[in-house]
Amino acid sequence: QGCTQKYIVKNYFYYYLFKFSAALGEEIFYITFLPFTYWNIDHSVSRRMIIVWSIVMYIGQVSKDILKWPRPLSPPVVKLEMRTNAEYGMPSTHAMAATAISFSFFIATMNQYKYPFELGLAAAFVFSTLVCLSRLYTGMHTVLDVIGGALISAALLVLLYPAWDTIDHLLLTSPFCPLFSIVVPLVLCYNYPKLDYYSPTRGDTTTILGAAAGATVGFWLNNQYAASAHTGTSVQPGLPLASSTMVFVLARFFTGILVVLLTRWLMKSVVLGVLGYRYQFPMGDLQARRRLEVEVPYKFVTYSCVGLTATVLVPLLHQLLGLM
């Protein structure tokens, strides 16, 4: 589908601010910020964020396809994005993800690092608010969609917080963790609510659950084999970073991201090639790639390998290169 309306940008500050803010609720942010936290800040913080993020996003995506509330009509609304136009609107998963990630990061770090409570709370509020406002500015959601998403995410965070330590302990120590982490998300993906037409929500949900599954298995493997963990000495929020520390932080980040992106590219090609051979379709056949028996294994295997690479292989590479 093409754009239904032409528009003229009158305020480039707001335009680029909210276009950037909208990207903070998409894959480009998840694939950079969550690994960055794991490599440079604290493993326990990253684990808790990924647990909350995956649960919140699954519930948000499923809720969309159960409620089936349409997005704002265009016209009169001018939509600056078209990829998600095929999805339903309520609740806004951008709002849910931004609320979950920002406040789970704040809650997980406020007792481990020395920084003003008010500063952390304000930063979480500003981050989530910018993402929420970006969904209104880009014409992708109504005010009710955004408020509903933020409130649902906040409620889930309140419910999950008392069980954080218990869930984290089980995921690290239970011998059933790898099996549970793979089987449960796969069952959820294959039993995703069916729609009368194709929507990217099932594929996006599979991507999220796959990445979380791979990361969770990586957490378990690291704990079983006593992999070294960052305890926050690499980055201290609120304190100026020494130049040498910043060099190591950036080196770990760019090295890790390069490996993660290469893994994603390689696994996409390999898995899609295998599935194309199995179901007899060319790799460029978009309609075939949208079929349940293709889309779920394609995205789940690809992104579970991405999650596993980010949590196991990249830290090993950091150690080999002397970047720890």
Structural domain boundaries, residue 319: 174-226+242-323
Same domain, 317 and 188: yes
Same domain, 33 and 134: yes
Same domain, 41 and 155: yes
pLDDT in tens, 204-222: 899 999 999 999 999 999 8
Please return the burial class of 178, using the count of CB atoms within 10 Å of its CB with bins 0-12, 13-18 and 19+. middle
Predicted TM-score (pTM) of the model is 0.83
In a domain, 236, yes or no: no
What is the pLDDT at residue 229? 46
**Tokens 């707001």 — which residue?**
14
Catalytic pick among 94, 169, 230, 318: 94
141 catalytic per annotation: yes
Domain end, chosen from 119, 147, 165, is at 165
Same domain, 178 and 302: yes
In a domain, 49, yes or no: yes
What is the pLDDT at residue 284? 77
Number of domains in the chain: 2
Same domain, 147 and 18: yes
Task: Say which residues have a Cβ less than 8 Å from residue 77's Cβ, sequence separation at least 6.
Answer: 139
What is the pLDDT at residue 247? 81
Same domain, 77 and 158: yes
Average pLDDT score over the chain: 83
Domain end, chosen from 121, 141, 165, is at 165
Same domain, 104 and 204: no
94 catalytic per annotation: yes
Structure tokens at 90: 């309520």
Q: What angle do CA 119, 37, 138 make, to 5 degrees?
A: 70
Same domain, 106 and 184: no
Same domain, 205 and 143: no
Helix orientation angle between 93-109 and 117-137, rounded to the nearest 10 degrees: 170
Domain end, chosen from 122, 148, 165, is at 165
